[in-house]
Amino acid sequence: MARIGVLASGSGSNFQALIDAVESGYIPDSKIVVLISDKPGVLALERAKKHGIEAVYVDVKCFHTREGIDNKIVSELSKRKVEIVCLAGYMRIVTRVLLKKFPERVLNIHPALLPSFPGLHAQAQAYEYGVKISGCTVHFVDDRVDHGPIIIQAAVPVLENEDNESLRKRILAAEHKIYPHALKWLVEGRLKVVGRRVKVEGVSQAAQVLVE
């Protein structure tokens, strides 16, 4: 059984989508064993407790470097024999300390069609730029921000007269659909990274794109 750890900094709505996918059996032979947050009192911690998942708060003010924070996180994950790590609205840049411990086992969800609009406030960046199509991306995490090989994307058209908040909500709904797919494929051992490309055994490249 795949043991999954999730890192989150906020409400954890993508965390909830992964919980639902695991509990429903859509992601087979898996268990989310811990939720780690760098923020106290956030909804993600409450979601974990509600579902019987261990919830851990790491006080980042106790550490002087990013590596120090990640050493603590790796320690907490290792205690629980975690094999796969999912970043779900985790608002810190992870370091090689974490990536070396979980090579090609760290996933992230980003609210834009990478490589466009990396970093913070991606939905607002896309909206203000005037794009006609935005979306979201699940990718492997590497040592550059929002840069790792892409697993699956969802395209979300920008509607006429739509505002930024409306677009943000529609992208978030798409995130909740594609993140479970990516985690399922990883748990099932169907992902193979070839350079910048991620091959999914038994899944066409077209099926790695969702169009809303």
Q: Where are the domains of the chain?
A: 1-103, 108-212
What are the pLDDT tens digits along the chain (212 aa)? Answer: 999 999 999 999 999 999 999 999 999 999 999 999 999 999 999 999 999 999 999 999 999 999 999 999 999 999 999 999 999 999 999 999 999 999 999 999 999 999 999 999 999 999 999 999 999 999 999 999 989 999 999 999 999 999 999 999 999 999 999 999 999 999 999 999 999 999 999 988 888 998 87
The secondary structure of residue 26, as a DSSP letter, is: S
- pTM, whole model, 2 decimals? 0.96
> Among candidates 143, 75, 79, which has minimal Cα distance to 106?
143
Query: CATH assignment of 108-212?
Result: 3.40.50.170
Look up 110 and say whether it is catalytic. Answer: yes
Strands 191-194 and 197-200: antiparallel
CA distance 58 to 67: 13
**Same fold for the pair 1-103 and 108-212:** yes
H helices present in the chain, as ranges: 13-23, 43-50, 66-79, 96-101, 122-129, 164-187
Decide if domain 1-103 falls under CATH 3.40.50.2300: no
Catalytic residue among 110, 139, 176, 181: 110
